[in-house]
Amino acid sequence: FRKFYNVDFEINVSGQFRLGDIRHNFADISKIKSKLNFQPKISFEEGMSKFTHWVLQQNIQDVKFKESLEEMKVKGLLK
């Protein structure tokens, strides 16, 4: 994200998670490449660039992130 947004920021891994989240997952398309000869139409870098452009065009509203964490804790959804 640093590369695509051209900003420096600290990454905070809190260890908290929402119940039901898939926590240890990563994309791997090697099987579909080998079995079906699949090749993506755009590269990861191009996809991230397009995503970044789209995000920067959005009307960002007050997210109230801390309040949402507190609400999930109260409801037992955040561990």
Per-residue confidence (pLDDT) for residue 1, from 0 to 100 = 72
For every residue of 26-49, DSSP letters joined together read ----HHHHHHH----SS-HHHHHH
- When divided into structural domains, the chain yields a total of 1
Give SS3 for 78.
Answer: strand
Q: In terms of residue numbers, what domain contains 6?
A: 2-74
pLDDT in tens, the chain (79 residues): 777 777 777 878 888 888 888 888 888 999 999 999 999 999 999 998 899 889 888 887 777 888 888 999 999 998 8
Is 8 inside any structural domain?
yes
Is 79 inside any structural domain?
no
The one-letter amino acid at 22: I
Q: Which of 5, 7, 18, 1 is nearest to 72 (CA)?
A: 18
Token couple for 42: 């755009």
Is 10 inside any structural domain?
yes
Q: Which of 55, 57, 78, 76 is nearest to 66 (CA)?
A: 78
Is 18 inside any structural domain?
yes
